[in-house]
Amino acid sequence: MKQYGLNRRGFVAAGAAALVAPRLALAQSSPYVVGTLFPMSGPNAEYGSLFTKGIELALEHIRADNMLKRPITMAVQDSLATPQGGAVGMTKLANVDKAVWVMIGFTGVSKAAAPIGTRSKVMMINGGGVGPDLAGLSPYYWNVIPLVNQEVRVLLPWLQKEKLKRIALIYVDDPLGNSVVQELRKGLAETGGELVGAHSIPPATQQFAAIAARVRDSKPDAVYFASYGAQQSQIIKQLRDNGITQQIITYSAGTIPSVVGLPESEGLIVTSQVSDWEQGDEVTQRFVKDWRAKHNGDPTSYNQNYYNAMRLFALLAQGLEKAGTEVTGETLLAELQRVRRFPLVGGEGVLEDGGTMAMPLQIGQIRNGRLQKIA
Task: Note the pLDDT tens digit of each residue in 257-300.
Answer: 999 999 999 999 999 988 778 878 999 999 999 999 999 999 99
Confidence at residue 38, expressed as pLDDT on a 0 to 100 scale: 98
Instruction: Please choose, from the candidates 101, 104, 186, the residue with its C-alpha nearest in 3D space to the C-alpha of residue 152.
Output: 186
Confidence at residue 28, expressed as pLDDT on a 0 to 100 scale: 58
151: CB partners within 8 A, 6+ apart: 130, 251, 252, 271, 272, 361
Which tens digits make up the pLDDT trace of 25-45? 445 579 999 999 999 999 999
Read out DSSP for 200-214? EE-TT----HHHHHH
Domain layout of the chain by residue ranges:
31-145+279-359, 149-273+362-373
Which tens digits make up the pLDDT trace of 323-338? 999 999 999 999 999 9
Q: Is residue 134 very low, low, confident or very high in pLDDT (cuts 50, 70, 90)? A: very high
Average pLDDT estimate for 129-152: 92
Distance CA 262, CA 133 (A): 31
Does 205 have pLDDT greater than 70? yes
Contact 61, 286 (CB under 8 A): yes
Average pLDDT estimate for 107-127: 97
CA torsion 233-369-126-199 (nearest 10°) is: -30
Distance CA 58, CA 60 (A): 5
Does 255 have pLDDT greater than 60? yes
Q: Is residue 5 very low, low, confident or very high in pLDDT (cuts 50, 70, 90)? A: very low
Q: What is the mean pLDDT of the chain?
A: 91
Average pLDDT estimate for 127-144: 93
> For the chain, give me the number of helices (H) and strands (E)?
12, 15
Contact 154, 271 (CB under 8 A): yes
Q: Is residue 105 very low, low, confident or very high in pLDDT (cuts 50, 70, 90)? A: very high
Higher pLDDT, residue 21 or 271: 271
Residue percentage of the chain with pLDDT more than 70: 93
Residue percentage of the chain with pLDDT more than 90: 78
Average pLDDT estimate for 90-109: 96
Average pLDDT estimate for 154-178: 94
Asked whether the domain spanning 149-273+362-373 has the same topology as the one spanning 31-145+279-359, the reply is yes
What one-character DSSP code corresponds to residue 253?
G
CATH number of 149-273+362-373: 3.40.50.2300
Instruction: Please choose, from the candidates 153, 349, 368, the residue with its C-alpha nearest in 3D space to the C-alpha of residue 251.
Output: 153
Average pLDDT estimate for 128-153: 92
Confidence at residue 2, expressed as pLDDT on a 0 to 100 scale: 35
Does 157 have pLDDT greater than 90? yes
Burial label, 16 (beta-carbon count in 10 A; 0-12, 13-18, 19+): exposed
Q: What is the pTM assigned to this prediction?
A: 0.84
What one-character DSSP code corresponds to residue 343?
E
**In one letter, which amino acid is 351?**
L
244: CB partners within 8 A, 6+ apart: 212, 215, 216, 223
Does 163 have pLDDT greater than 50? yes
Average pLDDT estimate for 294-322: 96
Does 7 have pLDDT greater than 90? no
In DSSP terms, 101 is beta-bridged to 34, 123
Burial label, 66 (beta-carbon count in 10 A; 0-12, 13-18, 19+): exposed
**In one letter, which amino acid is 240?**
R
E runs forming strands in the chain: 32-38, 72-78, 101-104, 123-126, 141-143, 166-172, 194-201, 222-226, 247-250, 269-273, 341-344, 347-352, 356-358, 361-367, 370-373
Distance CA 22, CA 15 (A): 12
DSSP SS3 for 198 = strand
In DSSP terms, 24 is beta-bridged to none
Higher pLDDT, residue 257 or 14: 257
Contact 146, 361 (CB under 8 A): yes
Which tens digits make up the pLDDT trace of 39-85? 999 999 999 999 999 999 999 999 999 999 999 999 999 999 999 99
Angle between helices 175-190 and 148-161 in degrees, nearest 10? 40
**Rounded CA Rg of the chain:** 24
Which tens digits make up the pLDDT trace of 185-201? 999 999 999 999 999 99
Does 24 have pLDDT greater than 60? no
CATH number of 31-145+279-359: 3.40.50.2300
In DSSP terms, 77 is beta-bridged to 37
